Amino acid sequence: MTDISKAPGIVDATSYGLIPGRISAQARQVIERLKDAGYTAYLVGGCVRDLILGEEPKDFDVVTQARPEEIRQVFRNARLIGRRFRLAHVHFGREIIEVATYRAAPSADSEDDNGNVFGTLEEDAFRRDFTVNALYYDPDEGLITDYVNGLHDLAHARLRVIGDPEARFREDPVRMLRAVRFAAKLRLQLTEDGRRLLPVLGPLLQGVAPARLFEEVLKLFHTGNAAATYETLCEYRLFEVLFPGVAAILGPHADRDSLLGRALANSDQRLSEGKPVTPAFLFAALLWEGVREEAMHSIAEGAVPVEAWARAAEHVLREQLRVITIPKRFSVPMREIWGLQSRFERRAGRHAFRFLESKRFRAAYDFLGLRVASGEAPAALFDWWTHFQEAAADEREAMVGALSAQGEKRPRKRRRRRAAGG
C-alpha cells in the first residue's frame, strides 16, 4: 500500500513560471467561486505540467473537495456527467472547465451511492497515474502542492508511475498507452521499471474494450507527436499488440520513408499548421500495408484486381476490429480511400472528369501522394492528376485526348442484359 503520510512539498509557483495571467479566466473564476462557497480548489494535472514546461495547455482541469451535487449548486451552468466517476462540466460558452472531486483508491470506505470513492487532497494525489500529472496549483495563493516529487521528475525529464508500476499497469492496462503518449509528447524518459514492464505486460491490452482502444489510439496519433509516438510504441512492442496484422508485415519498425512513416509525419505537420486531420485517413495509412500485401498476393494468383482489393480490405478491417473498434463513419471513407487508388490509373474517356467530382477524391489523391513519396506508385501519375486539377476545361480535354493518342484505352462499357423475352 502506498504511504500517503508524507508531507507535501509546497513551493512558490512563480519560480516555475506559473503566474495568474497564464491561466484561463474561466478556470480562475471557477476556483474563486468554489473558495467563496467554502471549498478548497486547485488546478491539477496536465495543465499545471504543461505550464511548467512552457507549453500552452489545451484545457484547464479543476479539483475540489466539493461533491458533484455541491458543485452543481455553486454553478448553474454546470452539468454532471459520468456514471461510475461523476464529474462536473462548467460551461462558459464554447469553453468547458472540468471540475472533479478529490478521490481515493477503491479500497477507501468513502464510497457514495453512485460508486464514487471520494477522498482527501493527499489521497487524490497518490491515486493519479504519473508523478508529473499529480501537481496542484492554487493561482490565488501562488503555490504548487507536490506530494509525489513530480516537480523533481519534471526537472529531470523523467516519467515515473505513482505506486507499484506493475500493479498500476495491471489495474488499468491503458496506463501503458498513456505512458507512451506522455513519453513521446513531453520527451520524458520512462523509469527503468516502466521500460522493463511495458513489453512484458503489453498483451494485457488485448483485454481492453475495443471501443476504448479506438479513443486511446486517436490520443496517441492525433496530438501532434504521431511519428515519435509510433517509435515509442514499437520500442516497447505495443504497436504489435494494437495492430498485429500490420506489425507482422512491417516487422519491428517501419522506415520513416515508408507510407506509414510519411503519413505520421504529415499528420504532425498538418496539426502544427492548424490544419484538420481525420481518423479515416489515419487508419487508412495504418492498415494499408496489410491490404496491399494481401491484394497483391491474390492478384499474383490470378484474382481480378478490383475483387482482390475489395476482399483484402474486408479481411484486414475485420481482423483489426477484433482489437480496435473503428466506427463506420470512419471505416467507410477509409475503405473508399483504398478502393479509389485503382481509379487513378483509369483516365481515358470521361472517367477522369467523373472521378474528379467524387467527394472522396481529395483524400484519395493525398493518399496517392504518400504512395508516390514512398516509392510505391509512379510520380508521373501523381503529377498528371495534380496538373489535371489545376488545368482549365479546354486543357483538361486536351490532356485526356493525349492519353488516347498515346494508346490508353477507354474503359469498356458494360453491355446491358436484355430482359427475358425482350
CATH code: domain of residue 400: 1.10.3090.10
* Structure-block grid coordinates of residue 197: 514492464
- Would you please indicate which residues are annotated as catalytic (active-site) residues? 59, 61, 129
* Structure-block grid coordinates of residue 40: 478548497
- Whether 116 and 108 have beta carbons less than 8 Å apart is answered as no
Domain finish residue from 113, 128, 156: 156
Least confident of 114-118, 225-229, 256-260, 345-349: 114-118
Q: What is the DSSP letter of 117?
A: B
Looking at the predicted structure, is the pLDDT value of residue 108 above 80?
Answer: no
Q: For residue 82, name the pLDDT band (cuts at 50, 70, 90).
A: confident
**Residues contacting 227, CB < 8 A, separation 6+:** 256, 261, 264, 265, 268
pLDDT exceeding 90 applies to what percent of the chain?
77
Question: How many alpha carbons fall within 13 Å on the CB side of residue 74?
Answer: 24
Backbone angles phi, psi at 12, to 5 degrees: -70, 120
- In total, how many domains does the chain have? 2
Q: What is the DSSP letter of 219?
A: H
Instruction: Decide if 109 is inside a domain.
Output: yes
Instruction: Decide if 257 is inside a domain.
Output: no
Instruction: Decide if 196 is inside a domain.
Output: no
Place of cell 519534471: 154
Instruction: Decide if 388 is inside a domain.
Output: yes
In a 3-state reduction of DSSP, which class is residue 133? Answer: helix
Place of cell 461523476: 86
Place of cell 490508353: 408
Domain finish residue from 134, 156, 178: 156
Least confident of 59-63, 111-115, 309-313: 111-115
Instruction: Decide if 208 is inside a domain.
Output: no
Question: How many alpha carbons fall within 13 Å on the CB side of residue 323?
Answer: 20
Backbone angles phi, psi at 32, to 5 degrees: -65, -40
Looking at the predicted structure, is the pLDDT value of residue 29 above 90?
Answer: yes
* Structure-block grid coordinates of residue 158: 523523467
Residue 255's pLDDT is 80
- Whether 269 and 299 have beta carbons less than 8 Å apart is answered as no
The more confidently predicted of residues 104 and 198 is: 198
C-alpha to C-alpha distance for 195 and 237, rounded to whole angstroms = 11
Place of cell 496489410: 290
CA nearest to 277, candidates 262, 267, 286: 267
Q: Which domain holds residue 45?
A: 7-156
Residue 2's pLDDT is 41
Looking at the predicted structure, is the pLDDT value of residue 7 above 70?
Answer: no
pLDDT exceeding 70 applies to what percent of the chain?
92
Share the mean pLDDT of the chain.
90
Q: For residue 64, what are the β-bridge partners?
A: 41, 101
Backbone angles phi, psi at 44, to 5 degrees: -150, 155
C-alpha to C-alpha distance for 357 and 367, rounded to whole angstroms = 17
Q: For residue 420, name the pLDDT band (cuts at 50, 70, 90).
A: very low
Looking at the predicted structure, is the pLDDT value of residue 34 above 70?
Answer: yes
CA nearest to 287, candidates 348, 242, 257: 242
Q: How many residues does the chain have?
A: 422
Instruction: Decide if 57 is inside a domain.
Output: yes
Looking at the predicted structure, is the pLDDT value of residue 234 above 60?
Answer: yes
Give 253-312 as a 3 state SS string: CCCCCCHHHHHHHHHHHHHHCCCCCCHHHHHHHHHHHHHHHHHHHHHHCCCCHHHHHHHH
- Whether 232 and 180 have beta carbons less than 8 Å apart is answered as yes
Q: For residue 1, name the pLDDT band (cuts at 50, 70, 90).
A: very low
Alpha helix positions (H), 84-209 = 121-127, 150-155, 165-171, 174-186, 192-201
Least confident of 74-83, 109-118, 132-141, 309-318: 109-118
Rounded to a whole number of angstroms, the distance between the first and last alpha carbons of the chain is 84
Alpha helix positions (H), 302-346 = 305-320, 328-339
pTM of structure: 0.87
Q: Of the segments 78-92, 240-254, 379-393, which one has the largest average pLDDT value?
A: 379-393
Residue 85's pLDDT is 80
Instruction: Decide if 124 is inside a domain.
Output: yes
Instruction: Decide if 346 is inside a domain.
Output: yes
Residue 254's pLDDT is 76
14 and 148 belong to one structural domain: yes
Residue 406's pLDDT is 72
Q: For residue 114, name the pLDDT band (cuts at 50, 70, 90).
A: low
Residue 344's pLDDT is 93
CATH number at residue 99: 3.30.460.10
Q: For residue 21, name the pLDDT band (cuts at 50, 70, 90).
A: confident
Residue 84's pLDDT is 74
- Whether 201 and 166 have beta carbons less than 8 Å apart is answered as yes
